[in-house]
Chain A
């Protein structure tokens, strides 16, 4: 299997269209082929792409920079999901049974019971929601606010990134409807009595 140290390619081994150059490096020879046209075409097309890209974003000023792109897409997102700022006046206590039922579903879906108990009676982590003592205010607006923005250092999660204002409204209304239900194992009141 030993080949010669100078394993010069056999001239007769060349294909028809091949022409050798007079290059020889440790037996390696080179052919006088031009680069395939398609590869040069790709090269020129990519250069053209680069120029057009730069023109689009910089010289012509058509393309958006990333800040503008974010601002536009973010507005589209808000519009698509109707997430624009709702005014506080619309967010009032709901008393309709259907709304409260939905609030109850949200209460369990969002795992509120993990800290506040299955019936809102409170546990080692979260306060009792069934008495009329409140840590962060007892009016609807205060309850809405604490559900929405939370109190991260005390362990109350902010739900603003997870459920809509409408849902927060429903679950807050549900929570306020629990006042006076006297469930078993109720935690001692915390905060201020709102009677």
Chain B
């Protein structure tokens, strides 16, 4: 067979390598910054652009998409050309891919810093950038599949299976999760709401871990590890089994991020069971890697490359055992919302991903530049520093997680929370955050050593941008011979069939979980009391979303007594039906805010408190680590967008009355003026159109729509009263007068005409309605924000009816009032 000449495109590999190193250093540096911020809030610098809420998505996105992403592309472009014996399909597509990806990263850095974010974890970018990602991703896939089609080898190797699954997986995830309705260039609403949005988001979030951080890396492992060890892959059969089982099972496991939250039990159970079933497929990758090193362990001692690979694969094995364990509900209540998850992802990120990248770079760069590694000793130094860094980073966080969880659920002998003040449980673990900074610093130092070593290596050699190679032309083996070729072996040369089966394996899990959540009503039982956000509350919510408040504050109370005692009634699915996007969060660095708006609940704070707290959190709680948000008092709301937002919400079936968009701004201003007046009574002056006012309105909306089932002292009736009959008997009215003169006179005056700002009960103006039932409820439930005390615990139902009668028949009767 005649050999064909062709050229490897090394230039594109070189570009991706450089981007990997530059963005990697950036990502770790931003990580170090936010680690400082968590231990010492001064490192938020008092600037809106550098607050933790904006920097944290920058860190996660920079690590995942900039550092790891570029590394994947470098590794894939290098290995795929060699494995397929072909140049990349198109140089133009390669260039669009490279520069398009760097543009996305740059736009991400700019928009996050400016506070433009959808808040969906690892998918925070706004819709124009989402479209750009889709285009660039298609370019990557087109280039990859084009290269596979014009290959000069018969079968595609296991590494390529993983690359293909990664491309298809990320494409499906990104498109489905990014469905959003734009209202402006920088603002959109997720088309999914509440629990549905949560399911879609964690189907995406979990599988971003799978198809961006796991499957591409298994592909890279299948190429670089046997290359570096110069050993054959341990088991081809294991490759097949763990490939198909892993890509099929992974897609189901997303709901394990939502255990004990406002999600149907069946969806949670799928998250648990499929996570457990992932242990063996994941470990299949680990042992196929480690057993490939059989007979090469002597090389591991000297080679930094192999050492990094061993740590990477071991970290992968640890994380993929830990992950399923964290998916058991009883373990998850410890690990969720604490630093356990943070430690877990860093074992995987710093060990598996970064470890494999470091090993790959140390192996690939000398070969690409046709030279020797500048210093094997420095590479080994980097290895030991990086390994130590992982331990110094993770161990304190595991410690912190368990400590904080124990403090959250600790009760006094009397049965009350031992640490009712959330802050106590945080300040207790802050020393661990300081140790974590040391871990992060070590990791960065190791990274810088590598950069120096690789820079020197690159300087000492040169890349042949177009490297000549030759291979026999591709001649199809033709139809399958059942005696000689297994079905799988045959599929390995039938790229279209192979891809279709990968696609089928990928879509089933997501379809089974997402479609019923959207189309079967019983999965999202609605609650009549839950109302849509007012325009002002919606504005506040949009600020909450874009500032990334969810990075520290969750908004979902789990059904544990130690959570309901601390925060109030646990969250119900129906409470979130107007939440585009949902805001449950995944870490409680600060307290949960799901019930921040329930007046009388343990989390309620009045408007003046919120104002002062935003202006200077440390003034309210000396040890608070929250950054200040003083600019909320300066920045204006964009009222022009309000009608458009209302219309967008109507499109998403939020039941605002028709034509509400036209009066939305008036409604907003009216509500804002109420809050301004409230603040003024505490000597705080602010204009109604400031962001601060909207934030207070939003926080006061949270979780107040359904009444927590608090156990009350007294004879309060639990049944709902449909209507009440006024009592006209002298005896009743006299009894009521007595109560009135004892209690009500304080605010409403002996004649009921009201003292100071308290309302006149004798006129025809009624704040909460003038029907007997309205008045009864006002007395019974009070209106705490206005100063009206609830009397249902003080007086019996009958006494309150007497009072109602007295007020309506005596004080408000026409002859008396006019």
User: Interface on A for B, CB 8 Å cutoff?
Assistant: 1, 3, 5, 7, 9, 13-15, 18, 20-21, 23, 25-36, 39-40, 42-43, 46-47, 49-50, 53-54, 57-58, 65-67, 69-70, 73-74, 77-78, 80-83, 85-86, 88, 91, 135-137, 141-142, 144-145, 148-154, 158, 161-165, 167, 191-192
- Which one of B51-59, B441-449, B600-608, B803-811 contacts A? B600-608
Q: Which residue of B lies closest to A164 (CB)?
A: B414
Instruction: Chain B residues near A78: list those with CB within 8 A.
Output: 415
Q: Do the beta carbons of B287 and A88 come within 8 Å of each other?
A: no
- Chain B interface: which size bin? 35 or more
- Whether the pair B238, A33 counts as a contact (CB closer than 8 A) is yes
Residue of B whose beta carbon sits closest to that of A135: B746
CA distance A151 to B490 in the complex (A): 75
Chain B residues contacting A26 (CB-CB under 8 Å) are: 79, 82-83, 85, 157, 223, 227
Cβ-defined partner of A58 (8 Å) among B230, B266, B414: B266
Which residues of chain B come closer than 8 Å to A40, judged between CB atoms? 280
Q: Is the CB of A49 within 8 A of B273?
A: yes
Which 9 interchain pairs have the tightest Cβ spacing? A81-B415, A43-B280, A70-B559, A50-B273, A25-B157, A29-B232, A35-B238, A33-B235, A30-B236
Nearest CB on B from A31, distance (A): 5
Residues of B within 8 A of A47 (CB): 277
Contact A58 B280, beta carbon cutoff 8 Å = no
Find B560's partner among A39, A70, A86, A136 (CB 8 Å cutoff).
A70
Interface residues of B in 220-274 (CB under 8 A from A): 222-223, 226-227, 230-239, 241-242, 245, 260, 265-266, 268-269, 272-274
CB closest residue in chain B, given A80: B415
Interchain CA distance A58-B264 in the complex, whole Å: 12
Task: Report how far A165 CA is from B714 CA in the complex, Å.
Answer: 12
Q: Of the candidates A18, A21, A58, A82, which one forms a contact with B269 in the assembled complex, judged by CB atoms under 8 Å apart?
A: A58
Q: Once the chains bind, are A162 and B746 in contact (CB under 8 Å)? A: no
**Whole-angstrom distance between the Cβ of A100 and the nearest chain B Cβ:** 19
Q: Which residues of B does A touch, CB under 8 Å?
A: 79, 82-83, 85, 153, 155, 157, 159, 222-223, 226-227, 230-239, 241-242, 245, 260, 265-266, 268-269, 272-274, 276-277, 279-281, 283-284, 287, 291, 294-295, 372, 411, 414-417, 420, 469, 559-561, 564-566, 570, 599-600, 602, 604-606, 711-715, 742-743, 745-746, 784-787, 789-790, 793-794
**C-alpha spacing A145/B416, complex, angstroms:** 18
Other-chain residue from B236, B276, B604, B712 in contact with A50 (beta carbon distance below 8 A): B276
Complex CA gap A192/B239 in Å reads 82
Interchain CB contact under 8 A, B269 and A53: yes
Given contacts A7-B230, A35-B235, A47-B277, contact A77 B561 (CB under 8 A): yes
Query: A21-B236, A42-B280, A161-B565 are known contacts. Are A69 and B785 too (CB-CB below 8 A)?
Result: no
Nearest residue (CB) in A for B283 is A39
Alpha-carbon distance A142/B709, docked complex (angstroms) = 22
Q: How far is the CB of A12 from chain B (nearest CB, A)?
A: 11
Can you list 18 A-B pairs, Cβ within 8 angstroms, ordered by A?
A13-B295, A25-B153, A25-B155, A30-B232, A34-B238, A39-B238, A39-B280, A43-B277, A54-B269, A70-B559, A81-B414, A81-B415, A91-B713, A150-B600, A152-B599, A152-B606, A152-B784, A165-B713
Pick the residue among B79, B277, B280, B559 that contacts A67 (CB under 8 A): B559
